[in-house]
Amino acid sequence: MQPLQSPASLSSRAFLRRLLGGLLMLLTLPAASDTPQRVVSLDLCMDWSLVWHADPQQVAALSPLHRRYPVHWIGEHWPMHDGSLEQVVQLQPDLVLVGQYSALMLRQRLSELGLRVEVLALPQTLAEVVDYERRLLSLLGKDPALAAALPPTNRPAADAPRLLLLGANGIGTGSGTFEHQIIEQAGWRNHLQRPGHQRLDLEQLASDPPDAILFAAPEHRALANQFAEHPVLRQGIAADRWLTTDYWRWQCPGPWTWELTRQLAQWID
């Protein structure tokens, strides 16, 4: 005959059984996924990178800039926030992505509110494009090995044709820039050898014209584009040596940079 048990001991044993049962359930639950399910972007370059790499169902909202500066491969069906703190918080993102120079106050407030904000530095070299893509893939819960591999470094031949990268307002792109690396990776020599972005002089260009001009500016006509339409330039450079690429590819470094270098390389001959 077993001894009688007090109500207190029965209560303690029931509590222990429930506790052990709860611990067992926790141990048998699958591990939480590291893949974010609600990702928000705060700037244009991150909008493009997010659409390029993320699964559509992961994207809670893009910034309003992707509508202001549309590109053909991003439709208007993507969700968008208005850039306000209130709306971003209401989206309840589990990951907020932003570039190093963008939305400084907004991203600080979001971090203070406990949201996960990841700041990605824009690449300054071609090698950093690969690192940038790998980190983004990792943040999205994807395999970083999916990033495009860095192509072998190319150095243009001493007699390679010279390319002038001409932007709006008569500004050319010289050495020591990200664009200079793209030009040389494609096998061209940069027409401008002084560092940085430079205001161009028509007389100098007329006396020493480049072999080709790539007009890297928006397609719409504007006062900022009048320099490129000057008769001195148009007469000094053959019509088939005025090259055009998708302007958006120059705006933000990314995996599309490799397609840009291949496109430029095709025009050397």
Mean pLDDT score across all residues of the chain: 87
**pLDDT-above-90 percentage for the chain:** 67
- Specify burial of residue 143 (Cβ count, 10 A radius: 0-12, 13-18, 19+): exposed
pLDDT for 13 equals 63
**Local structure of residue 173 (DSSP, 8 states):** E
Overall size of the chain counted in residues: 269
Q: Under CATH, what is the fold of the domain 39-146?
A: Rossmann fold (3.40.50)
CA torsion sign for 237, 242, 247, 250 is negative
The residue with tokens 């169902």 is: 57
The answer to whether the beta carbons of residues 39 and 94 sit under 8 Å apart is: yes
Write out pLDDT tens, residues 85-138: 999 999 999 999 999 999 999 999 999 999 999 999 999 999 999 999 999 999
Q: What is the pLDDT of residues 79-91, one digit of tens each?
A: 999 999 999 999 9
| Two domains, one topology: 39-146 and 162-265 | yes
- Taken in order 229, 213, 176, 192, the sign of the CA dihedral is negative
Buried b (16+ CB within 10 A) or exposed e, 16-54: eeeeeeeeeeeeeeeeeeeebeebbbbbbbbbbbbbebb
Kindly report the pTM of this predicted structure: 0.80
From the CB of residue 161, how many other CB atoms can be counted at a distance below 10 Å? 17
Residue 244 pLDDT > 70: yes
Query: d(Cα 22, Cα 101) in Å, to the nearest integer?
Result: 47
List beta partners, residue 43.
none
Q: How many CB atoms lie within 10 A of CB 156?
A: 18
The CATH code of domain 162-265 reads 3.40.50.1980
DSSP one-letter code for 101: T
The set of residues, in sequence order, having a beta carbon less than 8 Å from that of 175 and lying 6+ positions away, is 190, 192, 193, 194, 195, 196
Sign, Cα dihedral of 197, 214, 101, 84: positive
Domains of the chain by residue range:
39-146, 162-265
For residues 3-13, one letter each, b for 16 or more C-beta atoms within 10 angstroms of the residue's C-beta and e for the rest, the string is eeeeeeeeeee
pLDDT band of 200, cuts 50, 70, 90: very high
Between 184 and 10, residue with greater pLDDT: 184
Which phi and psi (to 5°) does residue 254 adopt? Answer: 180, -170
User: Is the separation of the CB atoms in 93 and 42 below 8 Å?
Assistant: no
Report whether 241 contacts 268 (CB < 8 A).
Answer: no
Query: Within the chain, where are the H helices?
Result: 7-28, 44-53, 65-68, 85-90, 104-112, 126-139, 178-185, 202-207, 231-236, 248-251, 257-265
What's the pLDDT tens digit per position in 41-81?
999 999 999 999 999 999 999 999 999 999 999 988 999 99
Dmax of the chain from CA atoms? Answer: 115
Tokens 């072999």 belong to which residue?
211
